[in-house]
């Protein structure tokens, strides 16, 4: 007495996300009524079911059940051939178990999920981007990256040129967009581009390539406000030559004429042989007094310090300081310079250096005032100048707060481990006059 069970198909094929079915016939060769349960074994057990899950048979009868295979469309459903077994368990005689088997072929599918970060970059000559991709297919695949542009203004580089990803694995490449020439003056230029991401080998009937959109905003070397400033300076220079210099020449000429007229009106000095002439420097009717012929300096004609002997703010010595800020990736740090007690610092020049090309944010404050907040990726060197100095009182500080998003690549060509910014401040450092 035995239990017989047979699958209708010796092999079947199923696609992830689809459904495939076959039948299983069970026969009761015992002399009693027997109930049978079914248990799926093998790599396909997670997505294979038997309907109904239990049958009861009289002696000498058989029944056919449905075996349903529904693999999910997921990287966990690997492509390939896998054995499928179904254990037919008699309830009364569990020792008479039967395990019919078949072979299931899971077809491969390709699916990629990609992203470009950041979507937009600003710079003079080039922008750097990161293209990330994840293999959501069920088979290993090689991924290629093909950047392109409608025009010919940009050149591209991809490092590495392609990736090899297992199912569920992610990877990242560096994409660089570089312009062919600089913009010296004028407005910024926007250059949109695309990066096509797809498997190295395509499968017919599936759309597998993903297009990532990016943009490079090329900045002019000299901004428009600088042209306006140059035009204003030239206009002022021309006005000075046209108006001020002739007036200066006229004033000088008039002063010279007046000096000659005064000299001509002065009477000549009498000699000792003339009647009534003073002898040996004496004046008539009195004692003689020496006369040098040179004016005597009056009170207050000598230059000197201000009240109390201390120089007023703005009249001190030239001074400069450098703030060095190094920041780890995804963190922030602050550097500062504190004005000494009894001093006042008049800032006339400020230079920020981002020599590595870091990404992030820098905020510069003087005392309790914020001077500027700028994105690191928009500059390598940024300078500010003031005709009217920014005054920082005693015991207050000039600070540079740096938030590092991604360290850049210095001239050595090797990406730095930390963000590194320098802030140079220049001006005059003066004593505080008493009463101020």
Q: What is the 3-state secondary structure (H, E, C) of 77-94?
A: CCCEEEEEEEEEEECCCH
Instruction: Assign residue 118 the CATH number of its domain.
Output: 2.60.40.2310
pLDDT of residue 47: 94
The conformation of residue 246, written as its DSSP 8-state character, comes to: H
Nearest to 130 by CA among 90, 160, 95: 160
Query: Do 41 and 92 fall into the same domain?
Result: yes
pLDDT digits (tens, 9 = 90+) for 221-276: 887 777 778 788 888 888 888 876 555 555 555 655 565 556 555 544 444 443 33
Half-sphere exposure of 391 (CA within 13 A, CB side): 13
- Report the distance separating Cα 33 and Cα 10, nearest Å: 29
pLDDT of residue 18: 94
Domain stop point among 106, 127, 157: 106
- Report the distance separating Cα 161 and Cα 200, nearest Å: 11
For residue 292, tell me if it sits in a domain.
Answer: no
Q: How many helices (DSSP H) and strands (DSSP E) are in the chain?
A: 2, 26
Highest mean pLDDT among 270-274, 311-315, 329-333: 329-333
Query: Do 358 and 425 fall into the same domain?
Result: yes
Query: Do 200 and 129 fall into the same domain?
Result: yes
Q: Which two tokens stand for residue 163?
A: 């990736």
**312 pLDDT more than 60:** no
Query: Do 82 and 197 fall into the same domain?
Result: no
Please indicate whether residue 64 or residue 250 has the higher confidence score (pLDDT). 64
Query: Do 129 and 156 fall into the same domain?
Result: yes
Nearest to 356 by CA among 416, 404, 308: 416
Query: Do 80 and 122 fall into the same domain?
Result: no
Instruction: Assign residue 20 the CATH number of its domain.
Output: 2.60.40.10
Q: Which two tokens stand for residue 202?
A: 């395509």
pLDDT of residue 305: 38
For the segment 72-89, the average pLDDT, to the nearest whole number, is 93
pLDDT of residue 89: 93
Query: Do 139 and 164 fall into the same domain?
Result: yes
For the segment 135-150, the average pLDDT, to the nearest whole number, is 91
State which residues form the domain around 370.
Answer: 307-409+416-431
For the segment 138-159, the average pLDDT, to the nearest whole number, is 90
For residue 75, tell me if it sits in a domain.
Answer: yes
Which residues in 360-385 are b (16+ Cβ under 10 Å) and which e? bebbbbbbeeebeeeebbebbebeee
Mean pLDDT, the chain, integer: 82
Q: In 3-state terms, the chain is what percent helix, strand and coil (to 5)?
A: 10, 50, 40
Please indicate whether residue 263 or residue 169 has the higher confidence score (pLDDT). 169
Query: Do 99 and 60 fall into the same domain?
Result: yes
Q: Among 8-17, 34-43, 214-223, 352-361, which stretch is predicted with the lowest mean pLDDT?
A: 214-223
**396 pLDDT more than 50:** yes
- Report the distance separating Cα 102 and Cα 111, nearest Å: 29
Q: Among 195-199, 248-252, 355-359, which stretch is predicted with the lowest mean pLDDT?
A: 248-252
- Report the distance separating Cα 306 and Cα 433, nearest Å: 8
**87 pLDDT more than 80:** yes
Query: Do 323 and 424 fall into the same domain?
Result: yes
**151 pLDDT more than 60:** yes
For residue 423, tell me if it sits in a domain.
Answer: yes
Residue whose tokens read 């690549």: 409
Domain stop point among 218, 253, 288: 218
Please indicate whether residue 268 or residue 203 has the higher confidence score (pLDDT). 203
Q: In what order do the strands lie in the sheet with 62-69?
A: 3-7, 20-28, 62-69, 48-51
- Report the distance separating Cα 59 and Cα 28, nearest Å: 6
- Report the distance separating Cα 245 and Cα 11, nearest Å: 104
Range 272-276 contact pairs with CB under 8 angstroms and sequence separation of 24 or more: none
For residue 249, tell me if it sits in a domain.
Answer: no
For the segment 147-175, the average pLDDT, to the nearest whole number, is 92
Q: Which two tokens stand for residue 282?
A: 């004496």
For residue 436, tell me if it sits in a domain.
Answer: no
pLDDT of residue 337: 95
**314 pLDDT more than 60:** no
For residue 262, tell me if it sits in a domain.
Answer: no
pLDDT tier for residue 209 given thresholds of 50, 70 and 90: confident
Judged by DSSP in three states, 378 sits in: helix
**166 pLDDT more than 60:** yes
Query: Do 89 and 128 fall into the same domain?
Result: no
Domain stop point among 50, 82, 106: 106
For residue 351, tell me if it sits in a domain.
Answer: yes
- Report the distance separating Cα 212 and Cα 112, nearest Å: 12
Q: Which two tokens stand for residue 186?
A: 């004028």
- Report the distance separating Cα 381 and Cα 369, nearest Å: 22
Q: Facing residues of 134 across strands?
A: 113, 170
Query: Do 352 and 337 fall into the same domain?
Result: yes
**290 pLDDT more than 50:** no
Q: Which two tokens stand for residue 124?
A: 């003079």
pLDDT digits (tens, 9 = 90+) for 127-137: 999 999 999 99
Domain count, the chain: 3
Do residues 114 and 141 lie in contact, with contact meaning Cβ atoms separated by under 8 Å? no
State the pairing for strand pair 34-42/3-7: unpaired
pLDDT of residue 248: 52
Query: Do 67 and 38 fall into the same domain?
Result: yes
Q: Facing residues of 192 across strands?
A: 215
- The four Cα atoms 327, 330, 334, 335 give a dihedral, to 10 degrees, of 20
For residue 93, tell me if it sits in a domain.
Answer: yes
pLDDT of residue 133: 94
**391 pLDDT more than 50:** yes
The verdict on whether omega for the bond into residue 52 sits within 30 degrees of 0, i.e. cis, is: yes
């Amino acid at each position: 007495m035995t239990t017989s069970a047979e699958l209708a198909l010796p092999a079947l094929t199923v696609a992830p996300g689809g459904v495939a079915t076959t039948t299983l016939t069970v026969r009761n060769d015992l002399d009693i009524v027997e109930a049978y349960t079914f248990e799926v074994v093998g790599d396909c057990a997670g997505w294979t079911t038997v309907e109904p899950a239990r049958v009861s048979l009289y002696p000498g009868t058989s029944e056919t059940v449905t075996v349903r295979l529904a693999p999910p469309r997921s990287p966990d459903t690997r492509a390939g051939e896998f054995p499928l077994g179904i254990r037919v368990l008699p309830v009364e005689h569990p020792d008479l178990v039967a395990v019919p088997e078949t072979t299931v072929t899971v077809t491969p599918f390709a699916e990629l999920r990609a992203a470009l970060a950041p979507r937009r970059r600003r710079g003079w000559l080039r922008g750097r981007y990161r293209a990330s991709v994840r293999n959501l297919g069920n088979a290993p695949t090689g991924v290629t990256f093909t950047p392109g542009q409608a025009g010919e203004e940009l050149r591209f580089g991809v490092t590495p040129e392609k990736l090899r990803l297992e199912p569920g694995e992610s990877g990242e490449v560096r994409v660089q967009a570089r312009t062919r020439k600089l913009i010296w003056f004028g407005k910024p230029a926007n250059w949109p581009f695309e990066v096509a991401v797809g498997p190295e080998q395509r499968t017919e009937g599936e759309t597998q390539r993903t297009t990532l959109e990016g943009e490079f905003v090329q900045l002019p070397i000299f901004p428009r406000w600088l042209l306006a400033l140059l035009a204003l300076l030239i206009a002022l220079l021309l006005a000075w030559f046209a108006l001020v210099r002739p007036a200066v020449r006229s004033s000088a000429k008039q002063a010279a004429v007046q000096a000659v007229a005064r000299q001509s009106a002065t009477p000549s000095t009498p000699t000792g042989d003339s009647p009534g002439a003073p002898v040996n420097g004496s004046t008539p009717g009195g004692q003689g007094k020496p006369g040098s012929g040179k004016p005597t300096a009056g009170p207050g004609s000598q230059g000197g310090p201000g009240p109390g002997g201390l120089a007023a703010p703005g009249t001190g010595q030239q001074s400069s300081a450098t703030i060095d800020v190094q920041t780890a990736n995804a963190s922030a740090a602050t550097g500062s310079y504190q004005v000494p007690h009894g001093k006042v610092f008049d800032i006339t020049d400020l230079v920020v250096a981002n020599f590595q090309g870091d990404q992030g944010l820098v905020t510069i404050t003087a005392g309790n005032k914020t001077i500027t907040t700028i994105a690191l990726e928009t500059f390598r060197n940024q300078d500010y100048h003031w005709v009217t100095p920014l005054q920082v009182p005693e015991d207050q500080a000039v600070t540079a707060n740096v938030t590092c998003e991604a360290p850049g690549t210095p001239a050595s060509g090797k990406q730095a481990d930390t963000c590194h910014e320098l802030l140079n401040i220049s001006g005059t450092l003066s004593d505080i006059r008493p009463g101020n």
